[in-house]
Amino acid sequence: MKDFTSGAVVYRTEYPVAVIELNRPRALNALNKEVFEILGEIIDEISCDDNIKVVILTGNGEKAFAAGADVEELKSLNTMEARNFALAANRTQEKLSGLSKATIAALNGFTLGGGCELAMCCDIRIASEKAKFGQPEINLGIIPGGGGTQRLSRLVGVAKTKELIFTGRIIPAQEALQIGLVNMVVRPEDLMDKAKKLALEIAGKSGCAITLAKRSIDEGSEMNLDGALHYEIECFAQCFSTEDHKEGIEAFLQKRIPVFHHL
């Protein structure tokens, strides 16, 4: 197993939770090719570790989760190089969004551009009161290239997405909560405690059911309603092939707390 205890992205296990931390605080955790490569490797490790049930993604320092892509790296790119950079980022983002485990983004400061796009790959977003959000790429004469035009519109609607992307406006955490970009806003000092408490709550549920619920929600959102409803039925039915469903029903009938083994 590779050592991820230092470098541009660090990773630690607090079973049944894993914590990934973007670790370039002097650069406001700006995202570059190295960050995406390491993050992709870490996600591969996590996907193979059955002891991990929930993943928390955050940034080192109080100022930023990630203030966007590293402009120093972007400034010299030509069209082909820009495409390759976006494709490499996309590969890692797809690994994160497609992870069968639940993911929580703990957003501790600037969450801009690529940082906002990365946060949107997580299932749940918790923001510090000091966090700020936006897709300000328009100010650089470019557009979002890491899912901003697509994931943001699916979360907050097309009209609000156009407003934010066309203006490059940066919004505070409370506004992000109001438009549905984040799930909750907490005091900065409570951010990681809240994220870990939520992670442990989710980790106590059936991992099989979490995976199937996530799959049904994510895949179904891309289908028409009739197709999505039938896909949900298939996922629902698959639950009945697991040991967890037996434990859950027996615990309910016996009026006790279920002990799931994620089987």
pLDDT mean over 237-254:
96
113-141 confidence digits (pLDDT tens): 999 999 999 999 999 999 999 999 999 99
pLDDT value for 134: 98
pLDDT value for 77: 93
Q: How confident is the model at residue 1 (pLDDT cuts 50, 70, 90)?
A: low
SS3 content of the chain, % helix, strand, coil (to 5): 50, 15, 30
Element (H, E) at 229: helix 225-239
- Domain residue spans in the chain? 9-203, 207-253
pLDDT value for 72: 87
Three-point CA angle 107, 110, 113, nearest 5°: 100
Asked if the model's pLDDT at residue 3 lies above 90, the reply is no
Q: How confident is the model at residue 189 (pLDDT cuts 50, 70, 90)?
A: very high
pLDDT value for 192: 97
Mean pLDDT in the chain? 96
pLDDT value for 243: 95
Three-point CA angle 134, 138, 140, nearest 5°: 110
pLDDT value for 262: 84
- Report the percent of the chain where pLDDT is more than 90: 93
pLDDT mean over 66-87:
93
pLDDT value for 2: 75
Active-site residue numbers?
117, 137
pLDDT value for 5: 82
Q: 1.20.120.420, 3.90.340.10, 1.10.12.10, 3.30.70.100: which CATH number matches 207-253?
A: 1.10.12.10
pTM: 0.95
E strand map for the chain: 9-14, 17-22, 54-59, 64-66, 102-107, 110-112, 124-128, 132-134, 171-172, 184-186
Asked if the model's pLDDT at residue 235 lies above 70, the reply is yes
Least confident of 71-75, 108-112, 145-149, 170-174: 71-75
Dist CA 89 CA 237 (whole Å): 35
The CATH H-level superfamily of 9-203 is: 2-enoyl-CoA Hydratase; Chain A, domain 1 (3.90.226.10)
81-106 confidence digits (pLDDT tens): 999 999 999 999 999 999 999 999 99
In the chain the first and final C-alpha atoms are separated, in Å, by 25
